[in-house]
Amino acid sequence: MAGQNPTASKTWNNRWTFMLAAAGSAIGLGNIWKFPYIAGQYGGGAFVMVYLLCIALVGVPLLMAETSIGRSTRLSPLNAMRKLTSDSGAFRGWEIVGWMGMFTGFIILTFYSVVAGWAMSYAWDLLTGTFDGMNASQVGGEFEALTLDAPRQIFWHTAFMALTVYITARGVHKGLEKGLQVMMPTLFALLILMLGYSMFATGNFMKGFHFMFDVDFSKITGEAVVAAMGQAFFTLSLGMCALMAYGAYMPANNSIPRTALSVAFLDTLMAIISGLIVFPIVYAHGLEPSAGPGLLFVSLTSAFANMTGGAYLGFAFFVLVSIAALSSAISLIEPTLAWVTERFGMNRIAATIMIGGAIWFVGLGSVLSFNHWAEVKFFGKTIFDLSGYVTDVILLPLGGMLTAIFAGWVLKRSVMSQELAMSVGMYNLWRFAIRIIVPAAVLLIFYTAIFK
């Protein structure tokens, strides 16, 4: 049918697939790499508490809204927004949500792929024994050497984008369903194994635990709240239409509220477990929790370098982190890809190569921002830092807020109530959250980011 997404005409085969794909999108570098390092930078417990509140009060209601918008139209996010806008007789400008979603996904993937490339590079180096017997400061030196080495990073960035394009081009069914069914449970198992290590072998588990859960209210600064909210959006893949795009493939008889709760729960669990793995190791090796983007790479690798069989375990760990990143990367391209194939009738493979190629190219800027362009700064930030900041603090919260206002105030009530199929009480609770809490929370962080 003209203007229809060819992949959306079919829904996913199995009722678990949406769940798996949404969890695959949500669980990624945001949980394993980013959560521990930002929690570390903002002092632990206070940040974690605000983050958990954001997940529950803002994340879950928005997850339901985005999925419902996708499923009710079975179109790409941009066309979904267009159709619902015209069905509701609303102002056409709402389609900006769809445009922004595509743009945001593009920007995120440019730096996401660079970090995923680091993980791939670590997998390789662990396997080949580069880190064997190194102490933490030597491992830290290796991390710095990697970021200073542009060709090596470009190699792995290219490898990661090539894999992303390959899997995405194979299509939603063949590319996504099969791989995820095996990889997500394996990743979880490996994280549990590492958690066991942190608990029993570091001798610092309780120290890490207290760092993450003892709330020192004096540490709740405006900046920490802004970061926690940005992280909540990022980790749940919200505010850029990724779950709208996936919602379009969700079978009609799946329960959206139940799925949303499960995805949020699994995602949060993964982040918490990652923190509980990282911080005890950080203390055991005399590292700083506030070390920044290298935290995961340096702390975990120091542990792998000094345990029996660590090379293989470390290899497996970073391979799985790369795979978790891959299942998120796919969802970062999907909104644009779904729209390009709908709009121009372009073949999925050609479209993926074109979009992936453009992302790869812009991503070179992030690679270079660690070395040759380290002095190139905009608003005092390198390209890598700026891409993360703009998406976390502006684009994702703004996209999320507009989606919430659209779903809560503009859309005909029947669309959401039909998709969500909840009891009246629960529905009213959701409606209150989406109409009031989500927009107010986002406005609050904009206010804080600007004036504090």
The answer to whether the beta carbons of residues 104 and 240 sit under 8 Å apart is yes
* Identity of the residue, 30 or 280, whose beta carbon is nearer to ligand PFF in the bound complex: 30
Question: Please, what is the minimum distance in Å from the beta carbon of residue 359 to ligand PFF?
Answer: 13
Task: Name the 3-class secondary structure at 179.
Answer: helix
Among 17, 299, 301, 328, binds ligand PFF (CB under 6 A): 328
Residue nearest to ligand PFF (CB): 30
Min dist. Cβ of residue 10 to ligand PFF (A):
22
Min CB(337)–ligand PFF separation in Å: 13
Piece of 66-74, 124-132, 173-181, 328-336 that binds ligand PFF (CB under 6 A): 328-336
Of the residues 331, 366, 387, 403, which one makes contact with ligand PFF according to CB under 6 A: 331
Nearer residue to ligand PFF within complex by CB, 168 or 202? 168
Least gap, CB of 211 to ligand PFF (angstroms): 21
List the beta bridge partners of residue 378. 381
Binding segment for ligand PFF (CB under 6 A), chosen from 66-74, 296-304, 327-335, 337-345, is: 327-335
Minimal distance, residue 439 CB to ligand PFF, in Å: 20
CA atoms within 13 A on the CB side of 122: 32
Four-point Cα dihedral 170, 173, 178, 184, nearest 10: 100
Q: How far is the CB of 283 from ligand PFF (least distance, A)?
A: 25
Site for ligand PFF in 69-128 (CB under 6 A): 105, 108
Strand partners, 381: 378
- Its sign, for the CA torsion 219, 220, 226, 232, is positive
DSSP 381: B
* Residue 231 vs 302, nearer CB to ligand PFF: 231
The residues that bridge with 300 in the sheet, in sequence order, are: none
Binding to ligand PFF in span 28-57, by CB under 6 A = 28-31
d(CA 266, CA 429): 22
What is d(CA 166, CA 68) in angstroms, rounded to the nearest whole number?
Answer: 28
Q: Could you say which of 110, 198, 237, 301 contacts ligand PFF (CB under 6 A)?
A: 237
Min dist. Cβ of residue 123 to ligand PFF (A): 17
Nearer to ligand PFF (CB atom), residue 239 or residue 280: 239
Q: Return d(Cα 398, Cα 155) in angstroms, integer.
A: 34
C-alpha span between 302 and 285 (Å, rounded): 7
Stretch that binds ligand PFF, among 234-242, 299-307, 336-344, 431-439 (CB under 6 A): 234-242
Residue 164 lies near ligand PFF (rule: CB under 6 A): no
**20, 21, 26, 139: which one binds ligand PFF (CB under 6 A):** 26
Minimum distance from residue 395 beta carbon to ligand PFF (Å): 10
Total chain residues near ligand PFF (CB under 6 A): 16
On the 0-12 / 13-18 / 19+ scale of CB atoms within 10 A, 362 is middle
The DSSP output letter for 378 is: B
| Nearest residue to 187 via CA among 266, 89, 104 | 266
Contacts of ligand PFF in 243-282 (CB under 6 A): none
Distance (Å) of CA 121 to CA 48, 195, 304:
30, 23, 15
Helix (H, G, I), strand (E, B) or coil at 10: coil
* Residue of 5, 1, 26, 27 lying closest to 71 (CA atoms): 5
Rounded-to-5 percentages of helix, strand, coil across the chain: 80, 0, 20
Stretch that binds ligand PFF, among 26-34, 115-123, 202-210, 424-432 (CB under 6 A): 26-34
Binding residue for ligand PFF (CB under 6 A) from 234, 283, 297, 360? 234
Tokens 């190699």 label which residue? Answer: 155
What is the contact surface with ligand PFF in residues (CB under 6 A)? 25-26, 28-31, 105, 108, 234-235, 237, 240, 242, 328, 331-332
